[in-house]
Amino acid sequence: MTDPRIAVINERLKEVNDIIAVSSGKGGVGKSLVASTLALTLAEENYKVGLFDLDFTSPSTHVILNVKNVYPTEKNGVVPPEIHGLKYMSIVYYSGEHVSPLRGADVSNALIELLAITRWNTLDFLIIDMPPGISDATLDIIRLVKRIKFLIVTTPSQLAFETVRKLVNLLSELNIPIIGVVENMKMKESRFIREQTEKTGLKFWGEIPFDYTLEEAIGDVNRLSKTKFMERIKEIAEANINKI
Ligand SMILES: Nc1ncnc2c1ncn2[C@@H]1O[C@H](COP(=O)(O)OP(=O)(O)OP(=O)(O)O)[C@@H](O)[C@H]1O
Ligand SMILES: [Mg+2]
């Protein structure tokens, strides 16, 4: 029997125009920072934006955006709180700072539950901070969220891009759209990622330099918005978001 909550999920998301999953082949490449700053940037540009942290392995957008003392409210489901001009929802509201990570079926269940109860209402963009790589949770999210599109983050390393290829192959097999590739933590001039991206038939959105000021700006949205990192995200979003 199929879980009745699965039908509810896509009903819940029907007033959301674009659902963008910020994903990667591997961990630690900057997904959470890209997802958070992209959501902030789009909200600043007066789009209606939601940010959904579905990274069960290491939820971190609440730290990046300093989400404190705001909680979802319950009203025919769960209504995400608003923070920095965007609607915010995270798995941490439910997992808390648990030491023991959820396992297999529990992750699936928590994901289904969270997707089914959250009321986003009308949004231009819902940005999802995804778990790293191709985990069961990634596959679950793809299965559950019908209109999902992927934005892929990679570092300049060919090792990172090798894992991106695996993700791209999987998404292509499943007919899931990939809107673009962002190259993060760039330290020196190189065309490798751009060329590989284009060779794979994908759109190269742009590059973000390694930014030494980023660490001190985590948890301080005002400071974050003045970093080179977020400046670049703004430029990259402006150049690409209307073409997805
Ligand atoms: N352009 C950059 N310049 C400097 N530091 C960066 C840059 N991008 C990301 N970082 C740093 O790299 C680390 C990983 O970033 P982040 O947590 O966003 O990656 P992630 O892909 O979400 O990781 P995970 O797979 O664990 O969820 C963080 O400490 C972040 O501050
Ligand atoms: Mg992350």
pTM (two decimals)? 0.97
Residue-wise pLDDT for 119-168, tens only, equals 999 999 999 999 999 999 999 999 999 999 999 999 999 999 999 999 99
Mean pLDDT of the chain: 94
Q: pLDDT value at position 195? A: 98
Residue 152, CA distances (Å) to 25, 97, 181, 205, 214 in order: 8, 27, 5, 10, 20
Q: Does ligand 1 lie within 6 Å of residue 28's CB atom?
A: yes
Torsion of CA 117, 144, 1, 93, to 10 degrees: -30
Report the pLDDT value the prediction gives residue 97, as an integer from 0 to 100. Answer: 63
Ligand 1 atom at minimum distance from 208 CA: 1
- pLDDT beneath 70, residues of the chain: 1, 97-101
Model pLDDT, residue 99: 55
pLDDT of residue 82: 97
- Protein residue closest via CA to atom 25 of ligand 1: 27
Mutate to test the pocket of ligand 1, among 65, 186, 187, 214 (most ligand atoms within 8 A of CB): 214
Q: What is the pLDDT of residue 57?
A: 84
Q: Which of 110, 202, 149 is nearest to 16 (CA)?
A: 149
